[in-house]
């Protein structure tokens, strides 16, 4: 029963008793991990990577300027800035500083963290800037003048909440925020959408749409595409199901009648629908294009833009002015092509490759300018391949515009992909990054996974992991387990609800396969994961402790009987189940790592990390698990950062510290045993 939990008091986030207990745990962790001779040099090397002045300054185009948010040693909280394309091409661009978040935080005495900005289109003269207090999901919103580089004194301003806001025109916005009782869902997100006009009070904004209390959220947006200006509203009933409506000028609603588990949106004359279940004879994972007006009139004849197969899934897509750039994954390696609609509707789309992508690597579209041109910025990287940023125009030449230097010594390292066989016979792919020469035999290995919410783990260049783990002789492993999106919607659905154990079994199968291939041993195998991946780590501790020598769970979800009562937890019921539903409660109790902890089990050493300011996954999950493990006599350390939100760190220094703690902990437990001294 809930009332039997002796550690409920640790859910009181900022109570004096809870924070005092956290301070004691932090002191223990610092003494165990941060006091050794190697910690400070490791942290310094990781911070050097994070603050490196020659990182690629990824940018987004708004009008004539390219905008970038940048943190470095001199700007811990960061600066928002912009430059021209001509300057961006140079090795040392001249940036126009728009907002210095460090200066703002100092002036206002608040630990502001940048949370993004919405630039008004098409004039690009103003922006709605979001600022988070020490990293939480809740933000304050302030209107910013891009010409004067100042906040607009009497402009749009919204106090702290999990606000959703966007421009309609120069003097009007759609806003969903905390308007008082009844205005938020049970998950803490906006339930209403209102049209707010300049010069009126926020509380006077006109309601245009309302969701249900049990929905995750409601929202609205204005499509400012010239010639296709339209307003839309939506309600997300849960994390995977939503309804979208066209909001007419008369404020009536026209339902966009697609499956509620599909992703759909309008783009110019098209309605694009990505399927999560079979529909109209097309299989889940397909992407379809309809004529928008024809669809509203009842025509259900689509152009098929993508059809999945057993090994290939849709990874993403981005529009330019005249083309659609399509990203797919084949066994978790990216492929990219350009689709061009025919000028005559219903007569097909032309296809052509956009770029050659090396094997076992990833490509992503960083930015395009869909209202104006066919320009694109494309990032290509791999586990051992630093990022290269390309700029080009579809149908024209492509140039390398930025290239990141190597951040760690990759000599002697290689990348391979293997497949493990899970308990039910499913083949589970995983990447191994480590020494090419296996002659010394098994060595320390770190296995990372997530397995939820259709999130795919694709190849990437991890400079922090490179310096903290690979350079020291460790092997790094990425497991593409079910629950993710690596093979489309079916791969995700296979681990929903009571079937979450499939993700756990997949991860354990990869761990077992690593040992069978002589890459590592259980004593030298570590595991790490965060958020939903923290739940995965809790499952490894309680279900497969014999497979691991040490485990790190970051901002973890661990109490599966109370997650829906804590902060944003109610929004994840569709992923896991409802603890208030008697039928779901049975499997949730079985899944819950917190409730599986026992005194008579031998668990590997565990490091739990969280943040006091995480207003998404409650820090009580990590706190209570640490307290329970301590009570049962197990080896556990807890580090709770006071800020940083769900990311666990609000600046590069905090991130370097957290990563140094994690890798110091893992290396201390997993390093290859020293050979016996000669007699």
Q: Please check whether residue 639 lies inside any domain of the structure.
A: yes
- Residues 401, 481: one domain? no
Q: Which residue, 308, 342, 361, sits at the end of a domain?
A: 308
Same domain assignment for residues 327 and 457: no
Q: Which two tokens stand for residue 446?
A: 């770190």
Strands (E), 436-555: 445-448, 475-479, 525-530, 550-554
Quote the CA–CA distance of 315 and 327 in Å, as a whole number.
5
Distance between CA 54 and CA 661 in Å, rounded? 26
Instruction: Supply the pLDDT for residue 674.
Output: 63
Token duo for residue 558: 């661990």
Closest CA to 67 of 99, 92, 91, 103: 99
Asked, for residue 179, whether it belongs to a domain, the answer is no
pTM exceeding 0.85: yes
> Do 616 and 528 lie in a common domain?
yes
Separation in Å, CA 363 to CA 307, 331, 381, 395, 658: 20, 14, 7, 18, 28
- Within the chain, which residues score under 70 in pLDDT? 1-3, 345-346, 438-439, 674-679
Same domain, 333 and 303: no
**What's the CATH number where 466 sits?**
3.40.50.1820
pLDDT at 1: 41
Residue 485 lies in a domain: yes
Strand order, beta sheet including 230-238: 217-223, 230-238, 241-247, 253-255
- For residue 425, with 0-12 CB atoms within 10 Å meaning exposed, 13-18 middle and 19 or more buried, which class applies? exposed
CB atoms within 10 A of CB 530: 23
* Total domains, the chain: 3
What pLDDT does residue 676 have? 62
Which of 286, 456, 531, 571 is flagged as catalytic? 531
The residues facing 139 across adjacent strands are 132, 161
The question of whether 531 is a catalytic residue gets the answer yes
- What are the φ/ψ torsions at residue 172 (nearest 5 degrees)? -145, 145
- Answer for the pair 81, 127: CB distance below 8 angstroms, yes or no: no
In a domain, residue 193? The reply is no
356/334 same-domain check: yes
> How far apart, in whole angstroms, are the C-alpha atoms of residue 183 and residue 186?
10
- Alpha helix locations (H) across 342-495? 463-468, 489-493
- 253 C-beta neighbours (distance < 10 Å), count: 15
Say which of 222, 240, 646, 657 is annotated catalytic. Answer: 646
Strands 303-306, 312-319: pairing is: unpaired
Same domain, 301 and 356: no
Residues 321 and 433 in one domain: no
Q: In this structure, is residue 505 part of a structural domain?
A: yes
Q: What is the DSSP letter of 463?
A: H
Alpha helices in 239-287 (DSSP H): none
* E-only strand ranges, 199-249: 206-210, 217-223, 230-238, 241-247
Residue 540, number of CB atoms within 10 A of its CB = 27
Q: Does some domain include residue 96?
A: no
The residue range of the domain holding 273 is 266-308
Q: What is the structure's pLDDT at 344?
A: 76
The per-residue pLDDT for 2 is: 46
Q: Which two tokens stand for residue 233?
A: 């509203």
* Distance from C-alpha of 86 to C-alpha of 90, rounded to nearest angstrom: 7
Give the β-pairing of 287-291 and 303-306.
Answer: antiparallel
Q: Up-side HSE of residue 562: CA atoms within 13 Å toward CB?
A: 21
Are 467 and 609 found together in one domain? Answer: yes
Beta bridge pairs of residue 379? 364, 389
Query: Is 121 an annotated catalytic residue?
Result: no
Co-location of 366 and 470 in the same domain: no
Residue carrying structure tokens 């990759």: 410
- Same domain membership, residue 626 and residue 583: yes
Do 473 and 616 belong together in one domain? Answer: yes
Last residue of one domain, picked from the residues 406, 441, 460:
406
The rounded distance, in Å, linking the Cα atoms of 155 and 59 is: 26
Residue 277 main-chain phi, psi, to 5 deg = -140, 165
Q: Is residue 359 part of a domain?
A: yes
Per DSSP, the residues of 275-316 read -SS-BTTB-TT-EEEEEHHHHHTT----EEEE--BTTEEEEE
333, two tokens: 């390696």
Cα gap 249→214, rounded to integer Å: 28
Closest CA to 357 of 341, 385, 384, 334: 334
Pairing status of strand 361-368 against strand 324-330 = unpaired
Does residue 109 lie in a domain region?
no
How far apart, in whole angstroms, are the C-alpha atoms of residue 377 and residue 367? 5
Q: What is the DSSP letter of 640?
A: E
397 & 416 share domain: no
Domain end position, chosen among 347, 375, 406: 406
Largest CA distance in the chain: 91
């Amino acid at each position: 029963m809930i009332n039997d939990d002796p550690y409920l008091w640790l859910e009181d986030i900022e109570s004096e008793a809870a924070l005092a207990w956290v301070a004691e745990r932090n002191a223990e962790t610092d003494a165990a991990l941060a006091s050794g001779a190697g910690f400070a040099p490791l942290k310094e090397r990781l911070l050097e990577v994070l603050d490196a002045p020659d990182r690629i300054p990824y940018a987004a185009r708004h009008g004539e300027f390219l905008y970038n948010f940048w943190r470095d040693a001199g700007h811990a909280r960061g600066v928002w800035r912009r430059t021209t394309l001509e300057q961006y091409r140079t090795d040392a661009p001249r940036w126009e500083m728009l907002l210095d978040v460090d200066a703002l935080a100092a002036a206002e005495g608040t630990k502001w963290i940048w949370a993004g900005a919405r630039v008004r289109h098409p004039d690009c003269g103003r922006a709605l800037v979001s600022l988070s207090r020490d990293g939480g999901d809740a933000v304050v919103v302030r209107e910013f003048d891009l010409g004067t580089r100042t906040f607009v004194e009497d402009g749009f301003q919204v106090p702290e909440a999990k606000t959703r806001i966007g421009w309609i025109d120069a003097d009007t916005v759609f806003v969903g925020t905390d308007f008082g009782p009844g205005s938020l869902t049970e998950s803490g997100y906006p339930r209403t959408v209102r049209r707010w006009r300049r010069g009126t009070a926020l509380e006077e904004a006109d309601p245009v749409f309302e969701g249900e209390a049990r929905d995750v959220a409601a929202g609205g947006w204005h499509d400012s595409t010239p010639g296709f200006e339209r307003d839309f509203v939506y309600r997300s009933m849960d994390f995977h199901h939503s309804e979208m409506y066209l909001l007419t000028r008369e404020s009536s609603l026209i339902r966009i009648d697609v499956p509620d588990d599909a992703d759909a949106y309008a783009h110019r004359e098209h309605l694009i629908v990505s399927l999560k279940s079979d529909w109209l004879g097309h299989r889940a994972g397909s992407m379809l294009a309809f004529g928008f007006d024809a669809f509203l009139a009842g025509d259900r004849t689509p152009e098929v833009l993508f059809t999945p197969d057993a090994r290939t899934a849709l990874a993403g897509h981005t529009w330019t002015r005249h083309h659609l750039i399509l990203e797919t994954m084949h066994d978790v390696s990216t492929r990219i092509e350009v689709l061009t609609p025919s000028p005559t509707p219903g007569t097909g789309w032309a296809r052509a490759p956009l770029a050659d992508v090396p094997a076992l690597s990833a490509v992503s579209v960083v930015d395009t300018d869909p209202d104006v041109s066919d320009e694109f910025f494309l990032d290509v990287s791999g586990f051992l391949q630093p990022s290269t940023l390309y700029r080009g125009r579809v149908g024209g030449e492509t140039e390398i515009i930025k290239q990141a230097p190597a951040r760690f010594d990759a000599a002697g390292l290689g990348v391979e992909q293997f497949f493990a066989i899970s308990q039910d016979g499913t083949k589970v792919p995983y990447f191994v990054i480590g020494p090419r020469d296996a002659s010394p035999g098994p060595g320390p290995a770190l296995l990372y996974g997530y397995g939820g919410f259709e999130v795919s783990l694709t190849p990437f260049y991890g400079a922090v992991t490179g310096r903290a783990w690979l350079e020291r002789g460790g092997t790094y492993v990425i497991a593409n387990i079910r629950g993710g999106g690596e093979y489309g919607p079916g791969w995700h659905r296979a681990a929903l609800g009571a079937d979450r154990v499939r993700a756990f079994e997949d991860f354990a199968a990869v761990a077992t396969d690593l040992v069978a291939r002589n890459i590592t041993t259980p004593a030298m195998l570590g595991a790490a994961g965060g958020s939903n991946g923290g739940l995965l780590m809790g499952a490894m501790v309680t279900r497969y402790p014999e497979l691991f020598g040490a485990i790190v769970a970051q901002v973890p979800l661990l109490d599966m009987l109370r997650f829906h009562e804590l902060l944003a937890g109610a929004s994840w019921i569709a992923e896991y189940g409802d603890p208030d539903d008697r039928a779901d409660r049975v499997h949730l109790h079985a899944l819950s790592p917190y409730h599986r902890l026992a005194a008579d089990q031998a668990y590997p050493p565990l490091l739990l990390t969280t943040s006091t300011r995480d207003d998404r996954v409650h820090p009580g999950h990590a706190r209570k698990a640490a307290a329970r493990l301590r009570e049962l006599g197990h080896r556990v350390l807890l580090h709770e950062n006071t800020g940083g939100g769900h990311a666990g760190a609000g600046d590069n220094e905090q991130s370097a510290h957290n990563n140094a703690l994690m890798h110091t902990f893992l290396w201390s437990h997993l390093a290859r045993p020293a050979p016996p001294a000669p007699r």
